[in-house]
C-alpha cells in the first residue's frame, strides 16, 4: 500500500507532502511523466487523490516540485562533498565522489532528473537545466583554476572551456547511468562503487586537462 511502513493518520502537512513527493519520484521514474497516473501516485503515497491536489495542485506542479526537490538534493550533495579550500583537482575529485554517491543512492531521483525532466519539454526542461548549469559552472571554475595552478602559458578560450566542461559533465552523467546498471550493456563484475567511478573519470579527465593546459594538442596531421 503506502510507500512507508505505517498507515498513520493525521500527520503534519510537511511530512505528508514528503511522502507524496517520494511516491511521485518512484512512480515518475518507473512509468515516465505522462504514463504515471495521479491515481497510482496517490495510492503509492497511501493518501487520497484529493489530498494530493490539495497540497500539490496539479500534476504539473507536482512534477515541478519533484524536480526542484531532487535538483536541490543533488546540488546540495555535490556542494557538501567538495572541500572548498582544497586545490582544484581535489575539489573536482570530491565533487565527483559526491555526485556518484548521490546518484547511486537515489537512482529514482536521478532517473527523473536525467531521463524524464529533460525530455518533457519547456516547463520542466528549464528547471533541471538550471541545476545542470550550476554544476557546469562549478566544473568550469575548476578547469579555470587548474589552468592557473598549472600556470599554463596561454589563457584558454571561454568557448573551449565551456566545451570541456560540457564534455566532462556529460561523461559524468553517462557514467552515473553506467554505474547504476542503466547504461545499456552490463558492467563487467559487480557494480562499481562511487569512489571507483569517480576515479575512472578523474584519471581520464585530469590527465586530459593536464596535457591540454600544457599546451599539448592533438592534431589531425598525425
Partner DNA sequence: CATGAATGAGAGTTCATTCAT
Partner DNA sequence: CATGAATGAACTCTCATTCAT
123: contact with DNA by CB under 7 A: no
189: contact with a second copy by CB under 8 A: yes
Distance CA 81, CA 165 (A): 19
Binding partner of residue 197 among a second copy, DNA, none, CB under 5 to 8 Å per kind? a second copy
Distance CA 37, CA 147 (A): 49
Grid cell 576515479 in the structure block, residue: 199
CA 212 to chain centre: 27
Closest contact distance (angstroms) between CB of 121 and DNA is 13
Burial class (CB in 10 A: 0-12, 13-18, 19+), 68: middle
Closest contact distance (angstroms) between CB of 1 and DNA is 10
Closest contact distance (angstroms) between CB of 112 and DNA is 15
Distance CA 1, CA 46 (A): 6
Q: By rule CB under 8 A, what string of x and - marks binding of each residue 149-168 to a second copy?
A: ---------xxx-xxx-xxx
| Residues 92-151, interacting with a second copy (CB under 8 A) | 93, 115-116, 118-121, 125, 129-130, 132-133, 136-137
Nearer of residues 99 and 178 to a second copy, judged by Cβ:
178
| Residues 33-52, interacting with DNA (CB under 7 A) | 35-39, 47-51
Local structure of 47: helix, strand or coil: coil
Give the one residue of 23, 29, 59, 93 binding DNA; rule: CB under 7 A: 59
Helix axes 49-56, 13-31, angle to 10 degrees: 100
Residue 197 cell numbers, joined: 567511478
> What are the residues binding DNA (CB under 7 A)?
9-13, 16, 35-39, 47-51, 53-54, 57-60
Amino acid at each position: 500500500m503506502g510507500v512507508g511502513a505505517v498507515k498513520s493518520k493525521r500527520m503534519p502537512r510537511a511530512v505528508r507532502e514528503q511522502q507524496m513527493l517520494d511516491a511521485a519520484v518512484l512512480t515518475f521514474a518507473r512509468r515516465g511523466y505522462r504514463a504515471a497516473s495521479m491515481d497510482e501516485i496517490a495510492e503509492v503515497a497511501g493518501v487520497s487523490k484529493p489530498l494530493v491536489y490539495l497540497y500539490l495542485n496539479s500534476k504539473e506542479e507536482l512534477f515541478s516540485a519533484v524536480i526542484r526537490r531532487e535538483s536541490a538534493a543533488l546540488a546540495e550533495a555535490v556542494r557538501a562533498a567538495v572541500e572548498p579550500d582544497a586545490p582544484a583537482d581535489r575539489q573536482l575529485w570530491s565533487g565527483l565522489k559526491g555526485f556518484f554517491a548521490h546518484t547511486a543512492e537515489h537512482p529514482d531521483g536521478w532517473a527523473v532528473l536525467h531521463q524524464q525532466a529533460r525530455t518533457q519539454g519547456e516547463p520542466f526542461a528549464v528547471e533541471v537545466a538550471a541545476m545542470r548549469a550550476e554544476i557546469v559552472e562549478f566544473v568550469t571554475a575548476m578547469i579555470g583554476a587548474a589552468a592557473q595552478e598549472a600556470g599554463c602559458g596561454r589563457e584558454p578560450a571561454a568557448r573551449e572551456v565551456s566545451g570541456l566542461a560540457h564534455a566532462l559533465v556529460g561523461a559524468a552523467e553517462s557514467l552515473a547511468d553506467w554505474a547504476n546498471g542503466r547504461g545499456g550493456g552490463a558492467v563487467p563484475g559487480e557494480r562499481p562503487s562511487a569512489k571507483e567511478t569517480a576515479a575512472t573519470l578523474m584519471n581520464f579527465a585530469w590527465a586530459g586537462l593536464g596535457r591540454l593546459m600544457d599546451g599539448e594538442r592533438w592534431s589531425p596531421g598525425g
